[in-house]
Amino acid sequence: MSTLYGTSEGQPAKSRALKLYILVITTSFVRAANATSKRTITQAVRPNAGRQSHQRWSSSQSTYQRMHSTAKPIQSSTTLWAAAAAIVGAGGFYLLSGPSKSQDDLNPSGSHTVPTPAGPQKQLPPAANAKPVNYEEIYKEITNILEADSKWDDGSLGPILVRLAWHASGTYDKAAGNGGSNKATMRFKDESQHGGNAGLGHARDFLEKIHQKYPGISYGDLWTLAGVVAIQQMGGPVIPWRPGRTDGIEGDQTPDGRLPDGAKGIPHLRDIFYRQGFNDKEIVALSGAHALGRCHKDRSGFDGPWTPSPTVVTNDYYKQLLEKTWVERKWNGPRQFQDKETRELMMLPTDMALLEEPGMKKWVQAYAQDEELWRKDFAAVLVKLFENGVPFKKDTKVYHFKTIE
Ligand code: HEM
């Protein structure tokens, strides 16, 4: 049987093919040796030979070959021997060259394809391809790419993967009952071009390589899982995670304006986060993610990191907010703040706004003082963010992935 993962099942098929091949060749030579005059041989000619190698000897393939055989009269025994040699050569090449790479048999959506007598490729129904997804294995794969690009920002893809998971989820509208991580609509042109998503194409591209290897995982599951991996591997708390998101269609895209604008203040933050079902305490707990990563002039227009350790999950965001003196940066860019002392760290107007509202400031203070409290609240609020609007099946397994040392 052919599978998406042709390599593992290709070998037994190949040894069967080898036996059959020897039988066919022996028979051909015996017949050729006995030939005395003109003879007609039927050669099977198949387009695309070599690309579907692991299907070659299946019973349906025999049917296919019968239907597409072309009869060619062979005029002399010399020609007969030449033809026999060609068959030996071609068969030997196939048997030595190994099964075709599984990716050759995949269409862009990752579904398996089979040739049909009509010519064009048709997809197998999804059920025929279904292979249980091993999420622990994907966790490891994502861990392996985190530091694969040493030239990337501060040396880790972790921060941008967290931002991707958040922007995929933060479009949720509780009242409308749409948006969120479920449909992974940032795959489509309009939503990918929303201003708030600038730069996230890089993160999606990094994960695409993993999706090609594990096409059974939905994009929403992959992106949120990548956020979980990034947080945990950068020293954060364990984030319980479960699969269940399905890929949507273009019509599921959310309108622009559902993500926060860093240039604004408290009323805007409340509009954005209350719409998703969060309260003031949860807004503050989520904002601690800005201990990670940095702003990029070519993406948001803002510039610089929030903390001195942008690839480690710490409660530094709250400490910096309270302990540093923040002044407006004088520059040819959007309004942002810089620490007076080193001028190397930054805060957005929305970050500074958390200090203006007593109901929020008290949580900034609590999280600055008690890192464990923040780690616990942060894990809980991230689960809520990543799960908002996802119709999980009852009894879906919740994973508590072990952080890889
Ligand atoms: C409170 C409202 C928020 C605003 C206004 C905001 C705004 C921004 C902006 C302007 C950037 C810079 C993007 C760039 O230029 O590359 C950014 C980066 C980032 N944000 Fe937020 N954000 C908010 C909430 C969150 C939340 C809730 C999370 C996660 C739970 C988060 C995680 C991140 C991370 C990790 C980065 C760094 C990305 C990188 O290094 O490439 N943010 N955010």
Q: What percent of the chain has pLDDT over 90?
A: 67
Clarify whether residues 219 and 309 are in a common domain.
Answer: yes
The 10s digit of each residue's pLDDT in 211-237 is: 999 999 999 999 999 999 999 999 999
- The answer to whether 231 touches 239, Cβ cutoff 8 Å, is yes
Alpha carbons within 13 angstroms on the beta-carbon side of residue 140 total 4
Q: What is the pLDDT of residue 3?
A: 29
DSSP letters along 249-315, please?
-GGGPPPTT-S--TT--HHHHHHHHHHTT--HHHHHHHHGGGGS-EE-TTTTS--EESSS-TTS--S
Q: Is residue 121 part of a domain?
A: yes
The pLDDT value given to residue 129: 57
CA distance 304 to 344: 7
Same domain, 237 and 181: yes
Protein residue whose Cα sits closest to atom 37 of ligand 1 = 293
Name the nearest CA neighbour of 249 among 174, 176, 191: 191
CA of 158 to the centre of ligand 1 (A): 12
Is the model's pLDDT at 35 over the cut of 70? no
Residues 342 and 194 occupy one common structural domain: yes
What is the pLDDT, as a whole number, of residue 130?
A: 66
CA angle 49, 55, 61 (to 5 degrees): 80
Q: What pLDDT, in 10s, does the model give residues 103-138? A: 223 233 333 333 333 334 344 455 555 679 999 999
Q: What is the pLDDT of residues 339-367, one digit of tens each?
A: 999 999 999 999 999 999 999 999 999 99
Q: How many structural domains compose the chain? A: 2
Do the beta carbons of residue 111 and residue 126 sit within 8 Å? yes
116 domain-assigned: yes
Q: Give the mean model confidence (pLDDT) for residues 151-170.
A: 98
Q: Taking the mean position of all CA atoms in its chain, how far away is CA 54?
A: 27
Residue 271 has pLDDT above 80, yes or no: yes
pLDDT of the residue at 258: 98
Please give the pLDDT value at position 131.
77
- Does 397 map to a domain? no
167 classed as catalytic:
yes
302 part of a folded domain = yes
- Do residues 329 and 362 share a domain? yes
3-class DSSP state of 81: helix
Both 157 and 59 in one domain: the answer is: no
Q: For residue 114, which phi and psi values (nearest 5 degrees)?
A: -130, 150
**187 shares its domain with 310:** yes
Q: Is the pLDDT of residue 186 over 60?
A: yes
Is 287 among the domain residues? yes
Taking all residues of the chain, what is their mean pLDDT, rounded to a whole number?
Answer: 78
Of 93 and 297, the structure prediction assigns the larger pLDDT to 297
Q: Are residues 186 and 284 in the same domain?
A: yes
Residues 142 and 232 in one domain: yes
pTM higher than 0.95, yes or no? Answer: no
Do 235 and 93 sit in the same domain of this protein?
Answer: no
Beta-bridge partners for 72: 41
CA dihedral (31, 35, 40, 46) positive or negative: positive
pLDDT the model gives residue 251: 97
Residue 295 has a pLDDT of 98
Instruction: Say which range, 13-22, 279-288, 391-400, has the weakest mean pLDDT.
Output: 13-22
d(CA 294, CA 278): 24
Residue 166 annotated in active site? no
Q: Is 399 part of any domain? A: no
What angle do helix axes 77-97 and 6-34 make, rounded to 10 degrees?
Answer: 160
Instruction: Provide the CATH number for the domain around residue 362.
Output: 1.10.420.10
Report the distance separating Cα 363 and Cα 384, nearest Å.
18
For residue 290, report the distance from its CA to the centre of ligand 1, in Å: 6
d(CA 230, CA 104): 31
**Do both 89 and 153 map to the same domain?**
no
Pocket of ligand 1 (CB under 6 A): 153, 159-160, 162-163, 166, 199, 260, 262, 269, 286-287, 289-290, 292-296, 299-300, 302, 348, 350
User: Relative to the CA of 283, which ligand 1 atom is closest?
Assistant: 1
CB 213 within 8 A of CB 194: no
Residue 71 forms beta bridges with which residues?
42
326 and 249 in a common domain: yes
Domain that holds residue 242: 135-387
